[in-house]
Amino acid sequence: MAEVPTHEQRRKRATRADVARLAGVSTAVVSYVFNNGPRRVAPATSEKVRRAAKLLDYRPNTTARALRTGFSKMMAVIVPDSSNPFSAGIYNELQSAASRHGYSLMFMNVKGDPDLEEDAISKLIERNVDAIFLSTSRTYDQISMAPLDQSRFIFMDQPRRVMNAKSVSTDFYSSAITATEHLIGHKFCSVDMLYGGPEEDRTDDRVRGWYAAHQNNNLPAGRIIRSYFTREGGYRATLRLLDSDHQPEAIFAGSDMEAMGALRALHERGLRIPEDVAIVSFDGTVDSLYTWPQLTTMQQDTQKIAACAMNAALDPDQVPDVQLIKADLVIRHSCGC
């Protein structure tokens, strides 16, 4: 390797040619190292190039590379609620997967606001990101109207096919059947549901699965109470159930956060869980281990969801338009087992 650069040399923005000169290689080799190809570079040579780049404080010009190659090496993930532990788990898995493939990942929280989501999508398209992972707060009809042909979109919670996009989702329908039938197996005559969307919306696969479980067992379906997929929503929805003419026997919560809100309401009213009211939740986040009692939950496979989503972003022609991932029932204490 050539001599160590002077302070004056360090002050100027280093170029690829500077790195090549210091490392004693061609500029093409520097390009191969930082672009992971297209030609293979011997490990010793690659290490020499990276040491030279570090000494020169060299950073590849990502804007120029995007203009030259059509790829920004940048991806983005949009979530409706960054306080949701499930969103955080998915983001961590996606970030690890993106890093392994040489991509940076941008995280955007739109706070459940459809207008903020639409604005975020427009800005990301303008920045020419290579892929957008999206957990949407909008309806199926609304997302179908989005400019999905202007970037590579991967929906993270949409079990139906979306034109010009890929979908990776937990199999909500079969998971909801499993959760609800588990409670029915404890001899409860009906199971009430805490659900994030509108109470009149019966198209969501979690709702459809909950309803199908009652039909499968020749039982009348319980009540759906809107709970907004939040702790506060679960708390207030459970109070509505407790203040009604018919006390709940069992609750299927659409998320761990709603279940945690339900637990608070039940504890405040002096009710025992599961002796007075049993609960099964959905998500299987680490928080479900630290409630009292611990939550029985349908655990989503965040690692597999992220891996399938990344494959859809990197090689969309080789994956199906919709990938459904199985969730597992994790039995703890809140259901009555």
At residue 159, what is the residue type?
P
72-170+302-324 and 172-301 have identical folds: yes
What is the fold of 172-301? Rossmann fold (3.40.50)
The stretch 111-136 carries a mean pLDDT of 89
At residue 119, what is the residue type?
D
The stretch 32-46 carries a mean pLDDT of 82
Question: Model-level pTM?
Answer: 0.78
Domain 72-170+302-324 CATH class label: alpha beta
CB 54 within 8 Å of CB 255: no
Of the pLDDT bands very low, low, confident and very high (cuts 50, 70, 90), residue 202 is confident
Check whether 333 has a pLDDT greater than 60.
Answer: yes
Domain 7-60 CATH class label: mainly alpha
The stretch 266-293 carries a mean pLDDT of 97
Q: Report the C-alpha gap between 334 and 263 in whole angstroms.
A: 9
Per-domain residue ranges of the chain: 7-60, 72-170+302-324, 172-301
Q: Give the distance from CA 218 to its chain's centroid.
A: 35
Looking at per-residue pLDDT, the higher value among 139 and 246 belongs to 246
Q: 130-133 — which CB contacts under 8 Å span 24+ positions?
A: 130/71, 130/72, 130/73, 130/74, 130/75, 130/103, 130/313, 131/75, 131/76, 131/313, 131/314, 132/75, 132/76, 132/77, 132/78, 133/75, 133/76, 133/77, 133/78, 133/94, 133/309, 133/313
At residue 26, what is the residue type?
S
Helix, strand or coil, per DSSP, at residue 282 = strand
Of the pLDDT bands very low, low, confident and very high (cuts 50, 70, 90), residue 67 is very low
Bridge partners, 282 (sequence order): 298
Whole-number Cα distances in Å, 121 to 86, 87, 137, 222: 21, 18, 13, 38
Q: Give the distance from CA 52 to its chain's centroid.
A: 38
* 296-299 and 131-134 beta bridge pairing: unpaired
Per residue in 92-118, pLDDT (tens digit) is 999 999 998 889 999 999 988 888 998
CB 119 within 8 Å of CB 57: no
At residue 120, what is the residue type?
A
